[in-house]
Amino acid sequence: MCDCPHPPPELLLGNAPRGFAGTVVVLKSATYGAVAAEREQQLIEMGFIEGARVEILHEGAIARDPIAVRVDNITIALRRREAMAVVVR
């Protein structure tokens, strides 16, 4: 029996509610190939790297899309389908 505290559960940034604050764990994609690699590279260039602090600041009025996300000290507008490639804790 371990009395170790359990780490918070991981979730996809695209499923996180407004006000969520956490840390990027890893990037993943449901698709493979050049499109997935390009999308992953774009996310990395925007600052979605392992350990980066993220916070959902705002959601769009229609289907809660796009979302405004603060990544460390930068605010980015991101579609939820793109945010589904970012695993956070």
Give me the domains of the chain, ranges plus CATH numbers.
11-88 (2.30.30.90)
- Which DSSP state fits 35? H
Residue 57's identity, in one-letter code, is: L
80 contacts 52 by C-beta, under 8 angstroms: no
The pTM of this model reads 0.84
> Per residue of the chain (89 residues), what is the pLDDT tens digit?
556 666 668 899 999 999 999 999 999 876 666 778 888 999 999 999 999 999 999 999 998 899 999 999 999 999 999 999 999 99
> For residues 75 and 47, what is the distance between their CA atoms, to the nearest angstrom?
10
